Amino acid sequence: MHVVMFADQHLESLGGAQVSMRLQKRFLERAGHVVTVVAPRPHRESAGDAAYLDLPSIAITPDREYALTWPGVRTDRFLDAEMGARLRVDVVHVQADFWGAFIGHRYAARHGLPVVHTMHNRVDVGIEATAPFPRLVLRALNAWAGRVLPGGAAARAGVRGRAVDSGTSPRADRESAGPSRGLADGWAFLRQLARLSRAVTAPSSHFARRLEAHGVAEVVDVIWNGIDDDVLDAALSAEASERRPGRPRFIWLGRMSPEKRLLPFLEAVIASGIEAEVEIVGGGSQLRAARRLVERSSPAASIIFAGRLPYTETLRRLADADAVVQTSIGFETQGMTVFEAASLGTPAVVSDPDIAAELGSGVWAVADATVPALAEALRSAAADIVAGTPAVPDPSIAERFRQSSRTAAMVDVYTRAVAAGR
């Protein structure tokens, strides 16, 4: 099968969705499938992979990490010319929320191809956290989608997305009955994308059920983002060793932007008074503010900013930590980091109740969104670690989280989508 994936950003850029797609691509290829990844051309050095089809783009961040490709006729023509030299396509897999999604759905419609759409992000929460006028941005985004997506008039009318149900034909489109309507919310935008899709998937049960509740699609398949089998096998085959002596070791990793709540985390570390080693992995716009906060506060904990690290090194540090700390609330559709950590036997301090529920065990749950509540959870975790009674992750997560099993589940969705046709 030839799968064409569409992304908002090049797979060599920073981001959880990009990590997931790189793994999916590699394991699909390992299983004998052909993958083409269509994304904006990067403005930083990247791996020269023949499977990447880079679209003309403009950089949209000062560090040139992220880029935009404008969806329109010119991009359509470039894409069609480039794809004409490649193998016949069987299925389009859109793993994008914005311009990548528009470009992918336009391509599928032109060539009569079935679409599987993976929704990685809470668009409503993300825009509210990052945009100064979120309702205005959402209204503009919905209008843009209605203008450039196939069947834009129907989209503006608010028709419902279609989903593949095992062995059955898609249900008829109908007016959404979800609790949020109108063009000034993220769910309306996601409905526009889902209505063009033969199947919709999500990386967690809680996000899938939320998509269904808001009328995005009637059925949403849950396909977790996975962890590299090879890395996991190496970690699990290593001889079990006792905890390295010393202060509790906490790790926080991710993009340093407001919705990830790095600054409240550092405030909680300072307020907690814990004597611990805290490692911050990642980069982003709040790095300077985070450094300043630590410098002027003189916390009892030692706080180290490790910067961006390669994937394998990040996993190694997750395995070596006593606990990973997850701080965003309502933003993550899966919270991949804590599942990676659980697969490696590392418990988590978790702020998001949906993620805590999905993990089940191996969690110190934060009572609410306040800094004092996070500080108290950190104190509890540190005390348990020192006492030798830390939270213990569910050992079954390691097997359920393998990328090979996630790829097999996605191939099943592809097969159903192709069989159902358009």
Give the DSSP letter of residue 217.
-
Average pLDDT rounded to a whole number, residues 1-17: 91
| CA dist., res. 364 & res. 250, Å (int) | 13
Structure tokens at 97: 């929320």
pLDDT the model gives residue 242: 60
In whole numbers, what is the pLDDT of the chain averaged over residues?
86
For 257-335, where are the alpha helices, taking DSSP H only?
Answer: 262-272, 287-297, 311-320
CA–CA gap between residue 269 and residue 254 (Å, rounded):
17
Confidence of residue 340 (pLDDT cuts 50, 70, 90): confident
- Torsions phi, psi for 312 (to 5 deg): -65, -35
In the chain the domains, ranked by start, together with CATH numbers, are 2-226+402-420 (3.40.50.2000), 229-399 (3.40.50.2000)
Q: Give the global pTM.
A: 0.76
Of 27-36, 140-149, 151-160, 315-324, minimum mean pLDDT range: 151-160
- CA distance from start to end of the chain: 17
Per-residue confidence at 365, pLDDT binned at 50, 70, 90?
Answer: very high
> What average pLDDT does the segment 264-293 reach?
94
The amino acid occupying position 122 is R
DSSP per residue over 159-203, as a string? BPP---BTTBPPPPP-B--SS--SSSSHHHHHHHHHTT-SEEEES
> Which DSSP string corresponds to 367-394?
SSSSHHHHHHHHHHHHHHHHHT------
- What's the pLDDT score for residue 261? 92
Element containing residue 4 per DSSP (H, E): strand 2-6
Length in residues, the chain = 422
Beta strands in 73-121 (DSSP E): 91-94, 115-118
Is 236's pLDDT higher than 70? no
- The whole-number pLDDT of residue 129 equals 67
What is the per-residue pLDDT across 69-127, written as a single tens digit (0 to 9) for each? 999 999 999 999 999 999 999 999 999 999 999 999 999 999 999 999 999 887 877 77
Token representation of residue 372:
């004092």
